[in-house]
């Protein structure tokens, strides 16, 4: 067995099928999109080479810049709201609370539900006429706050944040919970003997030892925020007046509504580059000796 793993030819043969599949579904589309991004093409006729004109237009178009800003806000909300909540829940569940398995399952259920279903669910909650949120506000005497949450520019973006944050809190919680559970119980016993409180133990022992899993959660959270599409598309379609538009929805409308395949491909390449850049930044931030 050891001779097989030390044989580079054998390793290459075993890796080749996976590499071919990965290339077919990931690398080839990236290179094709990169090529299309250099063209002025409607998807049917012959494309005209325009160089980096599509990229220049993207970084000077107010609509595209606004969509990039929204994606950065999504990422910020994920980092500073979603992940801290997930971390708190993970630490609580890892402290041997009663009903630990039940709560772990309940928190993870939203992750298993289709994003489209969740978007439809929250669109009903936000509905201006019969939505649960407005009905709840009216029942507690806050009728002055009743409004069309997804139909107004001042509330649409925040209302779009909440379903995304809610859906994936359980996902990150489970990863962090596994990270906390992997820490040796002997360390916590020593801390307890030394008189460390639970809060002090969490900040000085548990969280520092969870750095690898926290990095993974941070990368997943940021990438998920940058490429969010289906929830925004079903909830608002990018409206009202492009208030909730993100690069992925702008890419979709550019390609399939405006038939600007070159411009849409440039946006897709930007999303990939954005994800790679922030992944490298996060890895650099978490790099230790």
Phi and psi torsions of 52, nearest 5°: -95, 25
Give the C-alpha separation, 185 to 95, whole Å. 11
103-131: pLDDT as tens digits: 999 999 999 999 999 999 999 999 988 88
Instruction: Tell me the helices (H) and strands (E) count for the chain, helix number first.
Output: 17, 2
Return the pLDDT at 203. 86
Q: Kindly report the three-state secondary structure assignment for every residue of 21-88.
A: HHHHHHHHHHHHHHHHCCEECCCCCCCEECCCHHHHHHCCCHHHHHHHHHHHHHHHHHHHHHHHHHHH
Phi and psi torsions of 49, nearest 5°: -70, 125
Return the pLDDT at 57. 94
Per-residue DSSP letter, 152: S
Asked if 240 contacts 151 with a C-beta cutoff of 8 angstroms, the reply is yes
Q: Which domains does the chain have, with CATH numbers?
A: 60-285 (1.10.3720.10)
170-209: pLDDT as tens digits: 999 999 999 999 888 888 888 888 888 888 888 888 899 9
Give the C-alpha separation, 226 to 75, whole Å. 7
Q: What is the mean pLDDT of residues 142-152?
A: 89
> In the structure, what pLDDT confidence band is assigned to residue 3 with cuts at 50, 70 and 90?
low
Give the C-alpha separation, 132 to 12, whole Å. 57
Of 247 and 143, the structure prediction assigns the larger pLDDT to 247
Asked if 271 contacts 255 with a C-beta cutoff of 8 angstroms, the reply is no
Asked if 78 contacts 221 with a C-beta cutoff of 8 angstroms, the reply is yes
Closest CA to 36 of 260, 255, 261: 261
Give the C-alpha separation, 2 to 68, whole Å. 50
- Report the chain's mean pLDDT, rounded to a whole number: 90
pLDDT over 60 (residue 1):
no
Q: What is the mean pLDDT of residues 124-139?
A: 90
Return the pLDDT at 2. 55
Distance, C-alpha 109 to centroid of its chain: 17
Give the C-alpha separation, 102 to 96, whole Å. 12
Token reading at 189: 């016993």
Buried b (16+ CB within 10 A) or exposed e, 105-120: eebeebbeeebeebbe
Return the pLDDT at 45. 82
Of 19 and 10, the structure prediction assigns the larger pLDDT to 19
Asked if 39 contacts 49 with a C-beta cutoff of 8 angstroms, the reply is yes
Return the pLDDT at 201. 86
User: Which of 19-28, 171-180, 197-206, 244-253 has the lowest average pLDDT?
Assistant: 197-206
Return the pLDDT at 14. 86
Closest CA to 63 of 250, 237, 273, 272: 250
Return the pLDDT at 4. 58
Q: What is the mean pLDDT of residues 52-65?
A: 94
Return the pLDDT at 285. 86
């Amino acid at each position: 067995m050891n001779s097989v793993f030390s044989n580079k030819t054998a390793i290459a043969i075993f890796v080749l099928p996976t590499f071919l599949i990965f290339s077919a579904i990931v690398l080839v589309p990236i290179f094709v999109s990169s090529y299309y991004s250099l063209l002025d093409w409607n998807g049917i006729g012959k494309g005209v080479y325009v160089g980096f004109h599509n990229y220049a237009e993207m970084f000077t178009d107010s609509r595209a810049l606004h969509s990039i800003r929204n994606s950065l806000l999504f990422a910020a909300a994920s980092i500073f709201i979603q992940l801290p909540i997930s971390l708190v829940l993970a630490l609580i569940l890892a402290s041997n609370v009663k009903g630990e398995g039940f709560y772990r399952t309940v928190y993870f259920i939203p992750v298993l539900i289709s994003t489209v279903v969740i978007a439809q669910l929250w669109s009903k909650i936000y509905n201006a006429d019969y939505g649960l949120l407005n009905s709840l506000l009216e029942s507690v005497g806050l009728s002055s706050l009743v409004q069309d949450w997804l139909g107004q520019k001042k509330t649409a973006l925040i209302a779009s944040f909440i379903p995304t944050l809610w859906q994936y809190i359980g996902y990150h919680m489970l990863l962090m919970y596994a990270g906390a559970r992997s820490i040796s119980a002997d360390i916590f016993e020593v801390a307890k003997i030394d008189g460390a409180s639970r809060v002090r133990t969490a900040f000085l022992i548990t969280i520092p030892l969870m750095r690898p899993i926290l990095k993974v959660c941070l990368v997943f959270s940021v990438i998920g925020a940058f490429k969010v599409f289906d929830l925004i598309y079903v909830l608002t379609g990018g409206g009202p007046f492009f208030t909730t538009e993100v690069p992925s929805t702008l890419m979709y409308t550019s390609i399939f509504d405006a038939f600007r395949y070159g411009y849409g491909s440039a946006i897709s390449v930007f999303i990939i580059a954005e994800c790679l850049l922030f992944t490298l930044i996060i890895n650099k931030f978490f790099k230790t000796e």
